[in-house]
Every structure is written in structure tokens, then in C-alpha cells.
């Protein structure tokens, strides 16, 4: 790893009444690792263990080869940004940022970087949610942490402020030369900010990989469903050859490009298709991009939802299964008039992922 | 939608009674019962008599003893009570429950019984009492005795009030401070204590007021030097009620100032 800073967790575990965290093994370099999981999956526990706010039952945490085990929080130099900022209410924004700053110049630099100049002399109670998080971030960065830990810092913000701050965070992280662990239950934030995702479920890591890989090749059914890949089917294998596996989807046969998995005929596998990877063609012609269906399945639009930036369409395939697809509003404009009408669903073989 | 509300409304209408007014009336009677004797006491005493009596050396001496002892007791209660309050606010489990019960014990014990149990530890014939007396610090019939009695009875006010104040400080603020490299003591000094300050001060004020008025335990441990409550009792038993009134007026004054201070502490300056 050379001089790159690395955060390493080895066999890290913590037991609570009714909840068991870990054991978790994880290495984070100078990158942004987004820990994604539902509430109660142990995301905050993970951060607390690294920051030393909670004592581990087993395992170890090290930073750049230096063991943090047994060290109190103040000697770990692990910066934490809490969910709603956890700003000191009796101090002004400036005093908050200066709380752990080494010199006054640092406060000014961070105020400029995070656009805080106008709010520096105000108390946290008078700040907006977005301003509070910027102050919290500045306060944490002022201490020059060796690792940055963020606990859902955007979750309580309104959508426009959240988007804006997400973009700022993205740029900020890129300029930081320390490991960043960012905890969230929001898949969009995780994929937008993370160089890698770690999906946590009931205190254990289900998958650690790039956002693309996690979305397109989820390791488990849980990861698939949690990241929005709701088309998950238990399907029998009917044949295989030359990197292609044929599975039975309802009454139809689905060809799946499979480089890694080589299931034997007759076995049952779990296959998933991300809604964004399927294409809808209407009876009136291609609806969504050029029509190149190397395998298409006829079906009927069962229902559709306008999600604002995209439409979610559920199609009842004639083969006897339901399949969700997301389409652009432009496509949906034409589909809307076809409510309940016949469509053709194109599923490229490499859009289907077989869970191992 | 609001089953509780509609039920009480319909009940009220059926009975034809406005229960809010009734409860206000009952409460008002109680308030009169609090206020009348205090007003009567102050009104019944001509200011000239009170002022004249206040110049009496025995009264001056009693006031000085009370003030010095109560200040010492409140300080002791703060020095030992605040750390305990902080521990109670952050601890969990059975130990916390037991310690809380122990802290409340002096509050529920009759003060005179508190004085008795203290005598079994610091009385002149006990090991501790005789040892201290031999070294020139008698623990009974002395200012030290007054302070011991007052601290025993008044310090729970500091612990109970400050515990609530410390519990009101979000532990995440302490976590934030410590993750910013500040040790626990620094964190308490710069974050927890400033935030809990109104409650802490309220507790110390209550302890001071309770010390000023302490009689039962004090009279058991230290009949001399006389504090104001003991002086009132002596005046009352030897000369009658009228002789005891002026000092009582002074104590009522102390109580009123305490209330004003507590009211001021009720508001936090940073708006949360």
C-alpha cells in the first residue's frame, strides 16, 4: 500500500442484547467507502467501533498500520460527522469549527471552502439543516482527521439541499487524502459518492464492490432487492453452453450470459434483472431506444408509477411472471396511452445476473 | 380522531360542570394557603421592630453562622455532588438504581433522624468524633457540625437536579467532542458543564436554600453555634412567637431570593 493511508477492520465484532454486529473484515484505502444498509443493520455501530465511541468485543481496527484497539476516541484522530451535525448549541458556528482547529487560519480556509462565511457568528439553533451539516463537516475537518466517518449526514435534509450538498461532498472527498467511510440507507447517495459500496445486513457484510458491480451483479438476493433490483426469480436451469445458460422463466426460456457461474442442468438458480436494464417495445414500434431485441417476451402493462425523473412500469409477461422496468418520461408519455395494452419486453442476456 | 378529548368534552357537557374551572378553584385555595401565612408574617412585623431585632448580636451571630455554613455546605455538595451526578447521568444498570436510591435517602429521612444517624458516626463518643475532637476539630457543637448536618440533608438536591441536567445533554455532543481529540475532562468542562449549567446552578441554589433553613439535623449535631433556624426555635421556646418572628422574616427573604434565582436559571441563553 506504500504511503497510502488504510483503515483496516479485522474480525470486528460487538454484541448487544438482541443484536450482533460482525465479525466484519474490511479494508478502506484513500477512497470513499459507502456502507449501505437498512436501519438496524449496524451501520452506526460500525462507525462507533472505528471512532472508539463503542468498545469492540472482538477483532481489531488499525489505521496506517497503527492499532487503534483500546484507544479512547480522543486519541484515534477519527473524525465523525453525525446525522444532524451534533453541533455544540452554546457555541457559534465559528466557535464550533474552531473547537478543535489547530490555528485560526484553518477556520477561515474551511469557512471559505464550505461557504460558511455568512453564518459563522450564528448559533446552531438559527442555522438551516444544510448549514448545520456544513458547519459540522468543517468542524470535523478542522481537526485534520486521519479517517473521516460520516453517519447519514444528508438524511434529514430537504431534497434540493441534499442534492447540492451531495455534489459538494463528492468534490470535497476527491480532494481528501484519507479513507472516508460514509454510512447511508439511501442507495442513490451511496452510488453517487462511493468509490465502493459495502452492503450491511444484520451486522454482517453481504457484498463489498464498486457501485456498478453491486447494482448489476448483486451477490445475494438481499443486496439485489435492497439496491432496487426487484426482478428476482428462482429459476430452474434447462441447459448451458458457450458462456450462455438457459433458464426457465415461467413458461418461457430465458438466455443468460454467464461468464462466472456454470450451473448444471436441472439445478435451481436465483436470477435477477435490474429494471433499468430491460427495454420496452410497444405494439406500435420501438418505444425506448433502438429495437434490437435478441430475446423479447410479450406481456401486458399491469400498472405504472410516475416517479418524477423516471417511470416504473410493471409488465405481466405472457409467460406468467411479473417484471418491473424503469423507462424515461419521454417513453412513458407514449406508454401511458397504452395502459393495459400489449408490449414486448426485451431482456438482453447480459442484463440477467445469476446469483452465486 | 381524538377519542380522549371528545369523551371528556361529552362528559363535561352531560354533567354541566366546567372541570377546568373547578380544578383552578381548588388550586387557588391551595395557593392562598401558601401565600397567606407568609404575607401575614411579613405584615404583622413592623419594619422598625424587625430592623431593631436584626441588630441584636445573637441574631447577627446566627445569620453569620447560617450564611458561612450554608455556603460551605453548598460548596461541599457541589464538589462531591456534581461528579456523582455526572456519573449517574452516564451510568446504566443496577448500580445506578442503587446509588440513586442512596442519594434520595437523606431527602426522605426526617431531618431529626438524619441528625441521629449522623451522631452515631461523628458524635463525640464515636471513633471519628473523638479523633477529630482530639485534633482540635470537634464535629459536634461546632461550625463543622453545622456543615456536616447541612451537607447531609442538602447535597441530594445538587445530585438529583444536576443529574437531570447532565442527562439533558445529548451524549453525542460528548462523542463529537472526544472524536475531535478532547479528553473526557476537557469535554465535560467545555461542552457538558456549560450546557447543563442552569440545572447545575439550580441544584446548588436549592442546596444553599435548604442549608439555610436546616433545623432538625443541625440541632442534633450543633446546638451551638446557633444557626438562624435554631435561633428561631430558642427564641420561640424562651420568649414566645413574637420574639422569633424577625429572624423568620429574614429566612423568608432568603427563600424569595432563591425563587428569583431559580426562575432566572429556567431560561437557557442559546435558545434550545
Nearest to B68 by CA among B208, B255, B202, B245: B208
Give the pLDDT confidence score for residue B272 in this predicted structure: 43
- Tell me: pLDDT of A24 over 90: yes
Residues of B in contact with A75 (CB under 8 A): 181
**For residue B118, what is its C-alpha cell?**
449522623
Residues of B in contact with A80 (CB under 8 A): 175-176, 179
Three-state DSSP class for A346? strand
Cα–Cα distance measured from residue A269 to residue A352, given in angstroms and rounded to the nearest whole number: 12
Interface of A with B (CB under 8 A): 51-53, 72-80, 82, 86, 88-90, 99-100, 123, 125-126, 139-140, 143
Give the pLDDT confidence score for residue A62 in this predicted structure: 94
Residues of B in contact with A98 (CB under 8 A): none
Give the pLDDT confidence score for residue A250 in this predicted structure: 86
Mean model confidence pLDDT for chain B:
88
Cα–Cα distance measured from residue A296 to residue A343, given in angstroms and rounded to the nearest whole number: 10
CB contact under 8 A, B177 and A99: yes
Cα–Cα distance measured from residue A75 to residue A52, given in angstroms and rounded to the nearest whole number: 9
Q: Is the ipTM of this complex over 0.90?
A: no
CB contact under 8 A, A80 and B181: no
Give the pLDDT confidence score for residue B105 in this predicted structure: 95
Average pLDDT over residues B79-102: 95
| Residues B173 and B195: beta-carbon distance below 8 Å | yes
CB contact under 8 A, A123 and B172: no
Q: Which residues contact B146 (CB under 8 A, 6 or more apart)?
A: B65, B69, B218, B221, B222, B225, B227
Q: Give the best residue of B93, B178, B180, B196 to mutate against chain A (max A CB count within 10 A).
A: B180
Residues of A in contact with B271 (CB under 8 A): 123, 125-126
Q: Return the residue matching grid coordinates 447541612.
A: B150
- Tell me: pLDDT of A262 over 80: no
Give the pLDDT confidence score for residue A227 in this predicted structure: 87
- Tell me: pLDDT of B111 over 80: yes
Nearest 5°: CA angle at A171, between A169 and A176?
A: 90
pLDDT tens track for A147-179: 999 999 988 888 888 888 899 899 899 888 899
**Chain B residue closest to A122 (CA)?**
B270
Distance (Å) from the alpha carbon of B2 to chain A's nearest alpha carbon: 29
By Cβ distance, the residue of A51, A75, A123 closest to B270 is A123
Nearest 5°: CA angle at A71, between A65 and A77?
A: 65
Looking at the whole model, is its pTM more than 0.90?
A: no
| Residues A261 and A311: beta-carbon distance below 8 Å | no
**DSSP 8-state symbol, B180:** T
Residues of B in contact with A107 (CB under 8 A): none
- Tell me: pLDDT of B61 over 60: yes
**Chain A residue closest to B175 (CA)?**
A53
Residues of A in contact with B177 (CB under 8 A): 88, 99
CB contact under 8 A, B179 and A86: no
Give the pLDDT confidence score for residue B5 in this predicted structure: 46
By Cβ distance, the residue of A73, A123, A125 closest to B179 is A73
Cα–Cα distance measured from residue B159 to residue B153, given in angstroms and rounded to the nearest whole number: 12
Give the pLDDT confidence score for residue B8 in this predicted structure: 47
**Chain A residue closest to B171 (CA)?**
A86
Cα–Cα distance measured from residue B136 to residue B122, given in angstroms and rounded to the nearest whole number: 14
Distance (Å) from the alpha carbon of A295 to chain B's nearest alpha carbon: 54
pLDDT tens track for B165-203: 999 999 999 999 999 999 999 999 999 999 999 999 999
Q: Which residues contact B105 (CB under 8 A, 6 or more apart)?
A: B156
- Say how many residues make up chain B: 272
Distance (Å) from the alpha carbon of A257 to chain B's nearest alpha carbon: 49
Mean model confidence pLDDT for chain A:
86
Q: Return the residue matching grid coordinates 434565582.
A: B261
CB contact under 8 A, A86 and B194: no
- Tell me: pLDDT of B268 over 60: no
By Cβ distance, the residue of B172, B184, B190 closest to A82 is B172
By Cβ distance, the residue of B183, B190, B272 closest to A74 is B183
Interface of B with A (CB under 8 A): 170, 172-173, 175-184, 190-191, 194-195, 269-272
Give the pLDDT confidence score for residue A282 in this predicted structure: 66
Give the pLDDT confidence score for residue B41 in this predicted structure: 82
- Tell me: pLDDT of A122 over 90: yes
Which residues are registered as beta bridge partners of A286?
A281
Average pLDDT over residues B45-68: 86
Cα–Cα distance measured from residue B209 to residue B211, given in angstroms and rounded to the nearest whole number: 5
Average pLDDT over residues B155-163: 96
| Residues A68 and A49: beta-carbon distance below 8 Å | no
Percent of chain A exceeding pLDDT 90 equals 44
Give the pLDDT confidence score for residue B1 in this predicted structure: 42
Res. A28 pLDDT band, cuts 50 70 90: very high
Residues of B in contact with A140 (CB under 8 A): 179-180
Give the pLDDT confidence score for residue B131 in this predicted structure: 93
Q: Pick the residue with more confidence: A287 or A308?
A: A308
**DSSP 8-state symbol, A232:** E
Nearest to A11 by CA among A60, A54, A45: A60
A305 phi and psi, to 5 degrees?
-125, 135
CB contact under 8 A, B271 and A123: yes
Give the pLDDT confidence score for residue A261 in this predicted structure: 56
Distances (CA, A) of B12 to B3, B7, B21, B102, B118: 14, 9, 12, 45, 54
Give the pLDDT confidence score for residue B24 in this predicted structure: 94
- Tell me: pLDDT of B208 over 90: yes
Q: Pick the residue with more confidence: B41 or B114?
A: B114
**Helix ranges (DSSP H) in B123-192:** 127-134, 143-167, 171-179, 184-187
Domains in chain B with CATH codes: 47-264 (1.10.3720.10)
- Tell me: pLDDT of B95 over 60: yes
Cα–Cα distance measured from residue A9 to residue A27, given in angstroms and rounded to the nearest whole number: 6
CB contact under 8 A, A51 and B179: yes
- Tell me: pLDDT of A1 over 80: no
Cα–Cα distance measured from residue B216 to residue A287, given in angstroms and rounded to the nearest whole number: 92
Q: Pick the residue with more confidence: B54 or B183?
A: B183
Amino acid at each position: 500500500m506504500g504511503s497510502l493511508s488504510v483503515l483496516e477492520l479485522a474480525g470486528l465484532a460487538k454484541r448487544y442484547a438482541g443484536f450482533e454486529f460482525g465479525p466484519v473484515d474490511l479494508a478502506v484505502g484513500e477512497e470513499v467507502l459507502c456502507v449501505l444498509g437498512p436501519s438496524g443493520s449496524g451501520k452506526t455501530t460500525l462507525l462507533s467501533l472505528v471512532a472508539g465511541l463503542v468498545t469492540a468485543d472482538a477483532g481489531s481496527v488499525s489505521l496506517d498500520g497503527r492499532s487503534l484497539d483500546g484507544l479512547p476516541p480522543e486519541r484515534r484522530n477519527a473524525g465523525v460527522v453525525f446525522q444532524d451535525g451534533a453541533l455544540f448549541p452554546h457555541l457559534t458556528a465559528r466557535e464550533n469549527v474552531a473547537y478543535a482547529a489547530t490555528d485560526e487560519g484553518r477556520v477561515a480556509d474551511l469557512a471559505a471552502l464550505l461557504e460558511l462565511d455568512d453564518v459563522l457568528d450564528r448559533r446552531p439553533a438559527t442555522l438551516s439543516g444544510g448549514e448545520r451539516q456544513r458547519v459540522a463537516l468543517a468542524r470535523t475537518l478542522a481537526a485534520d482527521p486521519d479517517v473521516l466517518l460520516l453517519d447519514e449526514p444528508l438524511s434529514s435534509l430537504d431534497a434540493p439541499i441534499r442534492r447540492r450538498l451531495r455534489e459538494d461532498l463528492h468534490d470535497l472527498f476527491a480532494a481528501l487524502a484519507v479513507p472516508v467511510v460514509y454510512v447511508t440507507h439511501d442507495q442513490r447517495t451511496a452510488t453517487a459518492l462511493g468509490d465502493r459500496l459495502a452492503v450491511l445486513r444484520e451486522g454482517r457484510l453481504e457484498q463489498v464492490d464498486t457501485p456498478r458491480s453491486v447494482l448489476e451483479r448483486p451477490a445475494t438476493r438481499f443486496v439485489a432487492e435492497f439496491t432496487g433490483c426487484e426482478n428476482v426469480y428462482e429459476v430452474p436451469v434447462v441447459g448451458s453452453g458457450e458462456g450462455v445458460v438457459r433458464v426457465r422463466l415461467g413458461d418461457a426460456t430465458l438466455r443468460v450470459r454467464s461468464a462466472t457461474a456454470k450451473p448444471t442442468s436441472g439445478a435451481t438458480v436465483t436470477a435477477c434483472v435490474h429494471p433499468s436494464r430491460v427495454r420496452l417495445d410497444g405494439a406500435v414500434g420501438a418505444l425506448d431506444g433502438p429495437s434490437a431485441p435478441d430475446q423479447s417476451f410479450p406481456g401486458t402493462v399491469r400498472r405504472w408509477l410516475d416517479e418524477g425523473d423516471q417511470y416504473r412500469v410493471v409488465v405481466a409477461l405472457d409467460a406468467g411472471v411479473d417484471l418491473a422496468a424503469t423507462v424515461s418520461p419521454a417513453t412513458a408519455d407514449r406508454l401511458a396511452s397504452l395502459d393495459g395494452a400489449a408490449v414486448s419486453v426485451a431482456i438482453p442476456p447480459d442484463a440477467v445476473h445469476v446469483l452465486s | 380522531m381524538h377519542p380522549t378529548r371528545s369523551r371528556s368534552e361529552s362528559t363535561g357537557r352531560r354533567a354541566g360542570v366546567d372541570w377546568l374551572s373547578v380544578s383552578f378553584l381548588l388550586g387557588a385555595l391551595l395557593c392562598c394557603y401558601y401565600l397567606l401565612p407568609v404575607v401575614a408574617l411579613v405584615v404583622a412585623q413592623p419594619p422598625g421592630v424587625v430592623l431593631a431585632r436584626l441588630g441584636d448580636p445573637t441574631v447577627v451571630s446566627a445569620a453569620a453562622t447560617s450564611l458561612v455554613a450554608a455556603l460551605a455546605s453548598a460548596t461541599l455538595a457541589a464538589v462531591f455532588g456534581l461528579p456523582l451526578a455526572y456519573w449517574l447521568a452516564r451510568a446504566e444498570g443496577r448500580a445506578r438504581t442503587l446509588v440513586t436510591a442512596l442519594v434520595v435517602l437523606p431527602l426522605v429521612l426526617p431531618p431529626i433522624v438524619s441528625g441521629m444517624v449522623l451522631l452515631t458516626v461523628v458524635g463525640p463518643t464515636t471513633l471519628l468524633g473523638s479523633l477529630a475532637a482530639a485534633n482540635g476539630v470537634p464535629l459536634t457543637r461546632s461550625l463543622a457540625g453545622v456543615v456536616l448536618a447541612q451537607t447531609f440533608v442538602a447535597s441530594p438536591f445538587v445530585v438529583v437536579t444536576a443529574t437531570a441536567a447532565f442527562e439533558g445533554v445529548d451524549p453525542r455532543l460528548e462523542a463529537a467532542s472526544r472524536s475531535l481529540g478532547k479528553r473526557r475532562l476537557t469535554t465535560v468542562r467545555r461542552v457538558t458543564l456549560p450546557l447543563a449549567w442552569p440545572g447545575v446552578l439550580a441544584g446548588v441554589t436549592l442546596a444553599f436554600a435548604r442549608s439555610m433553613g436546616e433545623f432538625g439535623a443541625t440541632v442534633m449535631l450543633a446546638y451551638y453555634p446557633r444557626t438562624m433556624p435554631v435561633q428561631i426555635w430558642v427564641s420561640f421556646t424562651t420568649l414566645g412567637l413574637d420574639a422569633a418572628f424577625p429572624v423568620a422574616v429574614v429566612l423568608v427573604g432568603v427563600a424569595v431570593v432563591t425563587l428569583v434565582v431559580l426562575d432566572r436559571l429556567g431560561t437557557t441563553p442559546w435558545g434550545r
